[in-house]
Amino acid sequence: MKNNFKFFFLLSLFMTFASCSQDNDSLVEENSFDVDEYISYLIGEKGVEKIGGPAAPTIETESDIISWDKGCYTVNVRVYITNGDGTRYLVAIDDVRLGDCKEKSLTNNTHCEGQLPDGSRVFENGTYGRICLFELLTKSDVVYNLYLVEIQQYQ
């Protein structure tokens, strides 16, 4: 009798865990967030009807000074997207030269390097996000305006 009780107890425990894991899997699929799809929306390549998750994603920019010399700053700039559940995605990362800088020659990669409307210049730094920083800043007014606010501290 004891063995039957243990068997039924373990069976019911297993069934409970199995049903919980199935519910969680379907919840993840319903609330999934496609960061690449959202980037396409930001740069105007694609419309997004509904973005997964309970809340709209947020966009953040961060920066750190790498070097400075007589009014010329080299700053590492990062762009993040945070979805509704708090997961943070690094979207773009590169270096930007701000201020009174002697020109550093650009590589031939005009897709990922170039001069922005404010006069700052974006350079690849060998690290990669999901999209080039230069492309994101030139194609998304929302991200570019956040970038301008972020770099005010260096000007």
Q: Is residue 9 part of a domain?
A: no
Q: Is residue 34 part of a domain?
A: no
pLDDT digits (tens, 9 = 90+) for 88-122: 999 999 999 998 887 665 555 567 899 999 999 99
Q: Is residue 149 part of a domain?
A: yes
CB-based contact 124:112 (threshold 8 Å): yes
pLDDT digits (tens, 9 = 90+) for 42-52: 777 665 555 55
Domain count, the chain: 1
Q: Which domain holds residue 109?
A: 54-154
Q: Is residue 44 part of a domain?
A: no
Q: Is residue 73 part of a domain?
A: yes
> Whole-angstrom Cα distance, residue 58 to residue 41?
13
What residue type is 76 in one-letter code? N
Q: Is residue 90 part of a domain?
A: yes
pLDDT digits (tens, 9 = 90+) for 8-52: 444 454 444 444 433 333 323 334 667 777 787 777 766 555 555
62 vs 3, more confident? 62
DSSP states along the chain:
-HHHHHHHHHHHHHHHHHHHHHHHHHHHHHT---HHHHHHHHTTS---S--SSSS--EEEEEEEEEEEETTEEEEEEEEEEE-TTS-EEEEEEEEEEEES-PPPPP-S-TTT-EE-TTS-EEE--S---SS-HHHHHHH-HHHHHHHHHHHGGG-
Q: Is residue 118 part of a domain?
A: yes
Q: Is residue 122 part of a domain?
A: yes
> Whole-angstrom Cα distance, residue 77 to residue 150?
9
pLDDT digits (tens, 9 = 90+) for 51-98: 555 567 889 999 999 998 888 889 999 999 988 788 899 999 999 999
